[in-house]
């Protein structure tokens, strides 16, 4: 049984991790929570019967009641809180993005190297969905060469899905100075990522990539590796529409991200072509738990075409991800979504934003 402390009790904690952890009591017990808001701390502690609450995340990290720390706080605090947790001998589950700028993440990789006996994992949840794992397994057995890849993230999720399904407790007692400090730190981190010449468009593109596009792009990386080069970066509407082409040597991959549309949809997908075969994996919104998912495989000849569907699969990918975190802790395994793995991603996203 892993005694877990959670830092940051906002949307992702309330919608996903806390309710799913409540169903995994054979593996995890949430013994402590931390947030800068008293009201959300009281609400969550009482709702989930959590015995220890801390306003200061450092006190949670230092608590003897905690073996592992789940960091669900704003991105600017990720590396600071994760480093402290590793140095205190605690396992770390860190929500994506692991950091805002690559140099800071390099420091976290170095801290982890000194404390390699504890697990450090990044929450790239799409890479733990059962059908993503099936797609990977099929590809590994497959001798056909990839001829084209297409991936996309066109989402408008939070407001509609959350408000019409499961309400989130939104605190009104956040210290006013906290918001200002967060915005200032955030800007300083972006400047460190993109340099003093950073334009607003570059900042917007980088935000899209590190906050949402990273899910699908890191899944593409797990399937096909890092691209040899970024061929083109096209953008419009001040960076909120983005089309990137990657050069993989033998094939090209197109990635499309759009996030200013008012149509309610969650269209995240990966299509992989091998001339006469196509794999198509589509994710539905992660904010409604246990939605079914399918993977389609289509094979064609000159005279016929056959499609196989894997799924529908109802296991929530956040649950699979938490099971994997447990397995890494219990068996001393290095997670595939390690801090080092995220560092490659941040460097790629920085290069994309600077090319725009």
Ligand X SMILES: NC(=O)c1ccc[n+]([C@@H]2O[C@H](COP(=O)([O-])OP(=O)(O)OC[C@H]3O[C@@H](n4cnc5c(N)ncnc54)[C@H](O)[C@@H]3O)[C@@H](O)[C@H]2O)c1
Q: Least separation, in Å, of the C-beta of 11 and ligand X?
A: 4
Q: Is the Cβ of residue 57 or residue 102 nearer to ligand X in the bound state? A: 57
Q: Least separation, in Å, of the C-beta of 278 and ligand X?
A: 26
Size of the site for ligand X (CB under 6 A): 25
Peptide bond into 145 cis (omega under 30): no
Site for ligand X in 37-66 (CB under 6 A): 37, 40, 57
Of 2, 4, 6, 7, the one binding ligand X (CB under 6 A) is: 7
- What is the C-alpha to C-alpha distance for residues 229 and 4, in angstroms, rounded to an integer? 40
Site for ligand X in 146-175 (CB under 6 A): 174
Q: Which tokens is 158 given?
A: 């939070």
Q: Which tokens is 12 given?
A: 């992702």
Q: Is the Cβ of residue 38 or residue 299 nearer to ligand X in the bound state? A: 38
186 binds ligand X (CB under 6 A): no
* CA torsion, ordered 124, 196, 84, 115, to nearest 10 deg: 70
Q: Least separation, in Å, of the C-beta of 344 and ligand X?
A: 18
- Give the range of 69-77, 104-112, 276-284, 299-307 binding ligand X by CB under 6 A: 69-77
- Give the range of 10-18, 42-50, 107-115, 325-333 binding ligand X by CB under 6 A: 10-18
Beta bridge partners of 154: 258, 267
Q: Is the Cβ of residue 11 or residue 344 nearer to ligand X in the bound state? A: 11
351, 193 contact by CB (below 8 A): no
Of 95, 222, 316, 345, the one binding ligand X (CB under 6 A) is: 95
310 binds ligand X (CB under 6 A): no
Cα 218 from chain centre = 9
- What is the C-alpha to C-alpha distance for residues 45 and 168, in angstroms, rounded to an integer? 15
75 binds ligand X (CB under 6 A): yes
313 binds ligand X (CB under 6 A): no
259 binds ligand X (CB under 6 A): no
- What is the C-alpha to C-alpha distance for residues 52 and 54, in angstroms, rounded to an integer? 7
Which residues are CB-contacts of 124 (< 8 A; sequence separation ≥ 6)? 96, 214, 215, 218, 219, 337, 342
- Give the range of 31-39, 258-266, 329-337, 345-353 binding ligand X by CB under 6 A: 31-39
Q: Which tokens is 85 given?
A: 């947790």
DSSP 171-208: -S---HHHHHHHHHHHHHHHHHHH-TT--HHHHHHHHH
Of 4, 5, 35, 119, the one binding ligand X (CB under 6 A) is: 35
Interface positions with ligand X (CB under 6 A)? 7-13, 34-37, 40, 57, 72-75, 77, 95-96, 123, 125, 174, 211, 286
């Amino acid at each position: 049984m892993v005694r877990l402390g959670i830092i940051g009790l906002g949307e992702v904690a309330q919608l996903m991790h806390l309710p799913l952890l409540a169903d995994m009591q054979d593996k995890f017990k949430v013994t402590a929570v931390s947030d800068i808001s008293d009201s959300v701390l009281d609400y969550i502690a009482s709702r989930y019967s959590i015995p220890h609450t801390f306003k200061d995340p450092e006190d949670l990290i230092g608590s003897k009641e905690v073996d592992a720390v789940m960091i669900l706080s704003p991105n600017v605090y990720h590396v600071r809180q994760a480093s402290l947790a590793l140095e205190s001998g605690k396992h770390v589950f860190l929500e994506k993005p692991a950091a805002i700028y690559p140099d800071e993440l390099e420091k976290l990789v170095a801290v982890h190297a000194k404390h390699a006996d504890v697990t450090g994992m990044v929450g790239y949840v799409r890479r733990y969905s059962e059908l993503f794992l099936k797609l990977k397994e099929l590809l590994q057995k497959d001798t056909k060469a990839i001829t084209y890849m297409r991936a996309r993230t066109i989402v408008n999720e939070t407001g509609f899905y959350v408000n019409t399904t499961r309400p989130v407790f939104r605190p009104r007692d956040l210290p006013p100075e906290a918001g200002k400090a967060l915005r200032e730190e955030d800007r300083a981190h972006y400047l460190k990522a993109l340099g003093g010449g950073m334009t607003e468009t570059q900042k917007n593109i980088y935000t899209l990539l590190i906050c949402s596009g990273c899910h699908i792009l890191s899944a593409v990386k797990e399937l096909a590796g890092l691209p040899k080069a970024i061929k083109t970066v096209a953008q419009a509407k001040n960076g909120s529409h983005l089309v990137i082409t990657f050069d993989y040597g033998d094939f090209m991959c197109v990635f499309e991200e759009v996030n200013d549309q008012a149509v309610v949809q969650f269209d995240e997908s990966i299509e992989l072509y091998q001339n006469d075969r196509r794999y198509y994996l589509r994710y539905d919104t992660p904010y409604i738990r246990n939605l079914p998912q399918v993977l389609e495989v289509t094979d064609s000849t000159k005279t016929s075409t056959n499609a196989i569907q894997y799924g529908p699969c109802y296991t929530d990918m956040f649950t699979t991800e938490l099971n994997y975190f447990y397995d890494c802790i219990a068996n001393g395994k290095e997670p595939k979504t390690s801090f080092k793995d995220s560092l490659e991603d941040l460097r790629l996203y920085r290069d994309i934003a600077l090319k725009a």
